Structure 1
Amino acid sequence: MSQSLNKAEPITVLVVEDDAVTRRVLSLAIEKEPSLKLAAALDCVKSARAWLETQSADILLIDLGLPDGSGIDVIRYCAERYPESDVMVITASSDDDNVLASIEAGASGYVLKDAGQPDIVSSLLELQRGGSPISPTIARKVLARMRKPAEAAGLNGEKLPQVNLTKREAAILDLIARGDSYGEVARELSLSVGTVQTHIKNIYDKLSVHSRGEAVFEASRRGLLQMDRLQAR
């Protein structure tokens, strides 16, 4: 965690999630992180819109499938009323249309619920730093959707600067693209989590990105992922 974040005011987070257990888990994860502050934890579109009518949060962390409507409506309302606020979707849905509709409504991040608590907290901090955290499986789907019109327009012949990854960096990139957490990568490659984080920082620097999702996007665009090997695991 950066020193600047520790000195700054805590980042306020509004959680909108209808499942009581998941809502509690998210709330506890936020409350345990000194850089974050739980603004409120709500369970439906109506309560979220009512809360946003009178106050705002630095980050809106929201599920899409709410009992009285779609979280996309709340995202759109928040983006229009508080354009300075960041929005991150957390959901079990990886449906292409939901992903794109969320992004179009104003979401800057999209994380699946099976992500671990440390990854979710890291994604919130990345979002506030200006990154766009997206679960790797989601990133690949969106990339595939984006690639089709690009290929039709003949734009896939773009010349990109060569990126040279070490064998260790390539292996780690494949694993985070598969969706493994830093701890899982460390166990699989018999490394410490700190060493994995150092390698990932080097990968980000080489790809000029700031998050896992962006790294998967850029690596896919450059043909750096060993997709056959990933699918075989």
Structure 2
Amino acid sequence: MEPVTAAPGRSIRVLLVDDQNLVRMGFRMVLDAQEGIDVVGEAADGRMGIEMSHTLAPDVVLMDVRMPGMDGIAATRTIVEEHPQSRVIVLTTFDLDEYAFAALRAGASGFLLKDVGPAELVTSIRAVAGGDATISSRVSRRMLDLFSQRLPSGPRPRGDEAVAALTPREREILSAIAGGLTNTEIGEQMFVAESTVKTHVGRILMKLGLRDRVHAVIFAYENGLNGHHRSQPD
């Protein structure tokens, strides 16, 4: 799926979905202080989040996982299916929350802890709005190790066939993505331009039939490509 990004010069529209008013208030205070980010609404549960996504068309939805009524997993699945222009970042209090991982399976583009620092929160929102994805560096490796084999995965190519279709450089970049590196960091490590890395990432996602780099991380862990490799020439 080609990511739909916010138009140049337009503020990133953010919808907050959390049943705790104080949590929403805290995120709003952080985001309202940021240039280029506009909190367009707040919802107290998943169903309300879906309804507000219909009317507000947010670029990014900050979605709590555990809420009364409709939880964040079901809401994420519906928003991703009905509003592909809206990207979802799931939030949780627990760094090993199986429900949050299920939300990634449902199509979320990111995973953050609720105690995330303001700088990381803003960076993650900007990354997701730009078509990238984010997983908290504190929890990505442990979460994927624990749950990648326990939760059902969606349709995708068989791992061995898909991996065989990747070039050595693409496998190396996929491994770096699984290690939590950004495109900039990968470019620096491999001595190539960030634009070249982005091109490789796009080809990897296309070949593997994956939605974004979060799901590329999951695929890498499931297929043993989460190690570190030495750089090879293109």
TM-score by length of 1: 0.62
Which runs of no fewer than 5 residues in structure 1 stay unpaired? 164-173, 178-197, 226-233
Residues 213 and 78 from structure 1, CA distance in 2 versus in 1: closer, same or farther, beyond 3 angstroms?
closer
Which runs of no fewer than 5 residues in structure 2 stay unpaired? 1-5, 154-158, 173-178, 202-212, 230-234
| CA displacement at 1:97 relative to structure 2 | 3.1
Please give the alpha-carbon distance, in whole angstroms, between the structure 1 residues aligned to 2:88 and 2:69. 20
The alignment partner of 1:65 has SS state of: coil
1:142 to 144, 147, 156: 144
The alignment partner of 2:61 has SS state of: strand
Alignment of 1:1-233 (within 5 A): 8-95=9-96, 97-140=98-141, 141-143=143-145, 145-146=147-148, 160-161=168-169, 202-203=188-189, 208=197, 221=225, 223-224=227-228
1:53-93: CA deviations, max 9, x gaps?
43321111110111333111211221122112111111113
Residues 154 and 54 from structure 1, CA distance in 2 versus in 1: closer, same or farther, beyond 3 angstroms?
closer
Residues 119 and 203 from structure 1, CA distance in 2 versus in 1: closer, same or farther, beyond 3 angstroms?
farther
Please give the alpha-carbon distance, in whole angstroms, between the structure 2 residues aligned to 1:22 and 1:122. 19
State the one-letter code of the partner of 2:144: V
The alignment partner of 2:135 has SS state of: coil
Residues 12 and 135 from structure 1, CA distance in 2 versus in 1: closer, same or farther, beyond 3 angstroms?
same
| CA displacement at 1:205 relative to structure 2 | 6.8
Residues 50 and 139 from structure 1, CA distance in 2 versus in 1: closer, same or farther, beyond 3 angstroms?
same
What CA RMSD, in Å, does the superposition of the two structures yield over aligned residues?
4.3
| CA displacement at 1:145 relative to structure 2 | 4.5
State the one-letter code of the partner of 2:69: D
Please give the alpha-carbon distance, in whole angstroms, between the structure 2 residues aligned to 1:144 and 1:205. 33
* Larger Rg belongs to: 1
1:145-200: CA deviations, max 9, x gaps?
44899xxx889x9895598xxxxxxxxxx9x89xxxxxxxxxxxxxxxxxxxx978
Among all aligned residue pairs of Structure 1 and Structure 2, give the percentage whose two residues are the same amino acid.
23
Q: Which has the higher helix share?
A: 1
Contact kept in structure 2, 1:61 and 1:88, CA below 8 Å: yes
State the one-letter code of the partner of 2:227: G
Please give the alpha-carbon distance, in whole angstroms, between the structure 1 residues aligned to 2:225 and 2:127. 22
The alignment partner of 1:136 has SS state of: coil
The alignment partner of 1:8 has SS state of: coil
Contact kept in structure 2, 1:136 and 1:213, CA below 8 Å: no
State the one-letter code of the partner of 2:22: V
Residues 205 and 74 from structure 1, CA distance in 2 versus in 1: closer, same or farther, beyond 3 angstroms?
farther
Q: How many residues align?
A: 192
Please give the alpha-carbon distance, in whole angstroms, between the structure 2 residues aligned to 1:94 and 1:128. 23
